[in-house]
Structure 1
Amino acid sequence: MANQKQSSRKSRIEKHAKKKKENFILNILIGVVFILVIIVGANILLNNDTKATVNENQSEQKATEKENADDKADKNESKESSESEDTEADSSSEPTDENANATEDEKTEDEKTEDVTEDQESEEDEEENEIIYGQSEDPNVDQVMINQNWKPIGTVQTGDHISSYDKGTTDREEMEKAMEYATGVSVDNMIVWWVGNGGKPNENVVGTISNKDKSQIYRVYMDWVDGQGWKPTKVEKLKSIDR
């Protein structure tokens, strides 16, 4: 009986030890599996993060490359536009042969006009410089003026000339133009106080005139030149109107 009890006890101890060993092995295996699960999960997470980072970097790189390409295209377009504008400006600033000729013709005409104006001014200055001033024994005469450069004023009359002093006649109108020429008082601003023969029919014709406000009073002497009209010979500046 004792041997049987010892044998049964030994058998239980062995079973218990075997079961304990199996549990230990099983726990080890479970730990290994858990560790493997952790390792695999970590690798998956790391791979996902790496892919995300790579994708993000690639996206940023593509965006940068696109932006650089757009900037380069804009610069090229701006450069081409600038060159086009410069070309147009050069084209517009460079005159064509036709425009150059027109400009040259205009310049020539302007120069001609300036030359004519200068000649006229020169003639006027010369005439003014040729005026001889003198005095008169007539107490009403303030000053006597004679200009050797006075010329006949021209005429539309033909044939034998006969002096006419009547207002409205061609001869009278030409006399008034001659008095305007000698005194500077325009016909529109002129009052003719008297005009008549001072001697021979076509010589020493005398006219007394003034401007309309009577601040300038003159006595003008004129001679007729056949085919050329009346020519002033002397002007007397008067102190007061005498007829």
Structure 2
Amino acid sequence: KTEDKEIAKIEEKKSEDKEAAQLEGKQKAEKSVKTNGNENKEEEKTISQEKDPQTNPSWKPIGTEQGAKPEMKFKEGTVDWSEMKKAISYAVDVPESQLIFDFIGNNGNNKAYGNVRDKQSNKKYKVNIDWVENQGWKPASVQVVK
């Protein structure tokens, strides 16, 4: 009888040890997942932005046919679209024909931004432009992105 009790105790102890080891393994796995998640987020931040946005006090509005306020029509072929492209090109100092316009979108009240690429240098830019009443779009900042 005492032998049976001892065997039962040994079996119970083995079972407890096994459960503890499994739990410890799970916790380690969860920890490594959390650590990897944080590392990836840091990497994403460094990839998306290469330099701080640059401004240039000598930038002027590009002129407009639109009057006091822009149409804010983000559609190819409109006067507003054409003027936004002109302002973005002016900001990065690259001819429009040499740029690929990946995106032009709304950036708030009378503000827009464009994501463009230079076909020759392969540089990518994010350009913010602001509307100046009766004078047209004016570059606000240029940021080189990766």
TM range (shorter): 0.5 to 0.7
Q: Would you say the 8 A contact 1:221–1:235 is kept in 2? A: yes
Which blocks of at least 5 consecutive residues in structure 2 are unaligned? 1-44
- Cα distance in 1, alignment partners of residues 121 and 106 from structure 2: 24
Look up the match of 2:91.
Answer: 182
Q: Which amino acid aligns with 1:211?
A: D
| 1:213 Cα deviation after fit | 4.3
Q: Cα gap change, 1:185/1:224 in structure 2, threshold over 3 Å: closer, same or farther? A: same
Q: Would you say the 8 A contact 1:220–1:236 is kept in 2? A: yes
Q: Which amino acid aligns with 1:217?
A: K
Look up the match of 2:56.
Answer: 147
Q: Would you say the 8 A contact 2:69–2:131 is kept in 1? A: no
Q: Cα gap change, 1:182/1:159 in structure 2, threshold over 3 Å: closer, same or farther? A: closer
Q: Which among 130, 141, 145 is matched to residue 234 of structure 1? A: 141
Look up the match of 2:122.
Answer: 215
Between Structure 1 and Structure 2, the one with more strand by share is 2
Q: Which among 169, 175, 191 is matched to residue 78 of structure 2? A: 169
How many pairs were matched up? 100
Between Structure 1 and Structure 2, the one with more helix by share is 1
- Cα distance in 2, alignment partners of residues 148 and 155 from structure 1: 20
Partner SS state of residue 142, structure 1: coil
Look up the match of 2:104.
Answer: 195
Superposition pairs of residues 28-39 of structure 1, within 5 angstroms: none
Which blocks of at least 5 consecutive residues in structure 1 are unaligned? 1-137
Q: TM-score, normalised by structure 1?
A: 0.39
Q: Would you say the 8 A contact 2:102–2:115 is kept in 1? A: yes
Identity of aligned residues (%): 37
Larger Rg: 1
Q: Cα gap change, 1:164/1:213 in structure 2, threshold over 3 Å: closer, same or farther? A: same
Partner SS state of residue 100, structure 2: strand
CA RMSD in angstroms, aligned pairs only? 1.6
Superposition pairs of residues 18-29 of structure 1, within 5 angstroms: none
Superposition pairs of residues 1-243 of structure 1, within 5 angstroms: 138-139=45-46, 140-143=48-51, 144-158=53-67, 160-200=69-109, 202-203=110-111, 205-213=112-120, 215-239=122-146
Q: Which amino acid aligns with 2:102?
A: W
Q: Cα gap change, 1:186/1:169 in structure 2, threshold over 3 Å: closer, same or farther? A: same
Q: Which amino acid aligns with 1:194?
A: F
Q: Would you say the 8 A contact 1:185–1:210 is kept in 2? A: no
Partner SS state of residue 134, structure 2: coil
| 1:212 Cα deviation after fit | 2.0
Tell me which of the two structures has the higher relative contact order, counting C-alpha pairs closer than 8 angstroms and 6 or more residues apart: 2
